[in-house]
Amino acid sequence: MINAATRRQVRTRAGDACEYCALRQEHSPLASLHVEHIIPRKHGGGDSLDNLALACIDCNLAKGTNLTGIDPLSDQIVQLFHPRRQRWEDHFAWQGVLLTGKTAEGRATIEVLRINSEEQVQLRSAVRGG
């Protein structure tokens, strides 16, 4: 079980935003952002700060125990984006309310986590006033 102090550290480090889709806690009033295991316990991941990320409920549930995905451009199996080892800006870019992948890892993460689902895009559009 992850203790309250560690949860606060993860939340503060992430700036109260999902480390995958960038949804801010204030835009998710019905569900708190989750502290998730980047490498799930099932695959040997532990509770250290280096293995924890803040994720919205949609990203967390879609990611589940996945470590990899298929890059839709190359059809290759690649590792998902790792918020502790990689920089978000290197792998993702915004095109309006759509998140695009700059790399194979970014594209696969967007697909596996369903970051551009109709519901996510509608929420981002409402939040951004578009």
Cβ atoms 41, 1 nearer than 8 A: no
Residues 6+ apart with CB under 8 A from 48: none
What are the tokens at 118? 């109709």
Neighbours of 74 (CB within 10 A): 11
pLDDT digits (tens, 9 = 90+) for 9-41: 999 999 999 999 999 999 987 889 999 999 999
Q: How far apart are CA 92 and CA 97, in angstroms?
A: 12
pLDDT in tens, the chain (130 residues): 899 999 999 999 999 999 999 999 999 878 899 999 999 999 999 999 999 999 999 999 999 999 999 999 999 999 999 999 999 999 999 999 999 999 999 999 999 999 999 999 999 999 877 5
